Amino acid sequence: MSELDKLDFLLGRWTGKYENQFGEKGVLESSSECVKVLDGRFLKWEGRTLKDASPLNQAVQFFGYDILRRKYFFKRMWSYGFVENGEGDWSDNDTLVFDHTSVDNSPSWFAGSRWKSFIRRYGDSEIGTGLRVSKGGGPFEVYGESRVHRVRS
């Protein structure tokens, strides 16, 4: 089994509903789909989020595994106009944690902040994706987590 195959639990279609996360007030609903692309060398995860039933954002991200650095990596593009780049590894058997190494076209409100994202497996048909932020060199705090359920493999 390749290291990328360890992410096969992400494959499929996902939906979720959560409140007051990621700096937003109100009900957020997400839908996404994750597939293998480019001869199975990458995962492509594409999704969108609604806030109170109106479009809030869209994102497309690609995951891979760097065999020389022995790290997973991602590139995540947002409809907000910025691109996040990160690398990471498993912190335990169910949690993959990424350090955000750079942000292209970074928004001004990112200044002085460092970010980590995570994917946590809660079961065969439930995962959480989230962000932690450190502002001004302080400790990392949870910025938000979306828990989603598989609707189709």
Q: What CA–CA distance (Å, rounded) separates 151 from 101? A: 32
Q: pLDDT tens for residues 6-47? A: 999 999 999 999 988 888 898 999 999 999 999 999 999 999
Count structural domains, the chain: 1
pTM of the model: 0.90
Given a cut of 90, whether residue 107 has pLDDT beyond it is no
C-alpha to C-alpha distances, 93 to 7, 89, 90, 119, nearest whole angstrom: 12, 10, 7, 11
Given a cut of 60, whether residue 5 has pLDDT beyond it is yes
* Structural domain span for residue 69: 4-152
CATH of the domain at 91: 2.40.128.20
Reported for 82-90, long-range contacts at CB under 8 A and 24+ positions apart, including other chains, are 82/106, 82/107, 82/110, 84/115, 84/117, 86/117, 88/116
Given a cut of 60, whether residue 153 has pLDDT beyond it is no
Q: What CA–CA distance (Å, rounded) separates 84 from 114? A: 12
3-class DSSP string for 66-133 = ECCCCEEEEEEEECCCCEEEEEEEEEECCEEEEEEEEEECCCHHHCCEEEEEEEEEEECCEEEEEEEE
> For position 112, what pLDDT does the model report?
87
Q: pLDDT tens for residues 108-131? A: 888 889 999 999 999 999 999 999
CA dihedral defined by 98, 106, 29, 99, rounded to 10 degrees?
10
